[in-house]
């Protein structure tokens, strides 16, 4: 009896994992963005990340917000499926991040190879929910 339960549980976990991988997901990023640099951040996002994201399979759009109390930028990037999002290699992301940092550093009069001016505070994923009714 216990073996049947364990087998059934393992099958449910396997199928649940596959279902989550094929469901829509929202990538959540929070960055430290000082108030004096919000416009630079937005312009760099528009020049680098936006065109690149628009070329990615499964990209549905994104929301950008700024929290003045914590001086943090919030990005919510909507993906058709978690698999499509996670299929993007970290090398590709690193290339765009370096381009982004270079644009921002140039705008700030810093060396193009200086560290990222907007450090990552939080990286996560959210599952969209639908209200009943």
pLDDT of 1 reads 53
Mean per-residue pLDDT for 31-35?
98
Please state the φ and ψ torsions of residue 82, each to the nearest 5 degrees.
-65, -40
- Using DSSP, state whether 103 is helix, strand or coil: helix
User: Beta partners for 59?
Assistant: 79
Full DSSP string of 67-91: ETTTTEEEEEEEES-HHHHHTS-HH
pLDDT at 133: 80
Mind listing the pLDDT tens digit for each residue in 89-133?
A: 999 999 999 999 999 999 999 998 888 899 999 999 999 998 898
Cβ neighbours of 41 (radius 10 Å): 20
**Cα distance between residue 82 and residue 65, in whole Å:** 22
Cα separation of 63 and 54, whole Å?
A: 14
Does residue 56 register a pLDDT over 50?
yes
Q: What is the pLDDT of residue 2?
A: 52
Span 22-126: which CATH code? 3.30.70.100
């Amino acid at each position: 009896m216990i073996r049947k339960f364990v087998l059934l549980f393992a099958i449910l976990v396997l199928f649940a994992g596959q279902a989550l991988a094929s469901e829509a997901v929202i990538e959540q990023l929070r960055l430290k963005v000082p108030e004096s640099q919000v416009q630079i951040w937005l312009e760099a996002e528009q020049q680098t990340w936006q065109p690149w994201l628009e070329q990615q399979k499964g990209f549905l759009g994104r929301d950008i917000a700024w929290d003045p109390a914590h001086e943090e930028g919030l990005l919510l990037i909507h993906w058709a499926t978690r698999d499509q999002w996670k299929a993007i290699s970290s090398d590709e992301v690193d290339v765009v991040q370096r381009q982004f940092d270079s644009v921002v550093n140039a705008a700030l009069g810093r060396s193009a190879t200086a560290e990222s001016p907007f450090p990552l505070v939080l990286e996560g994923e959210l599952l969209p929910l639908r209200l009943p009714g």
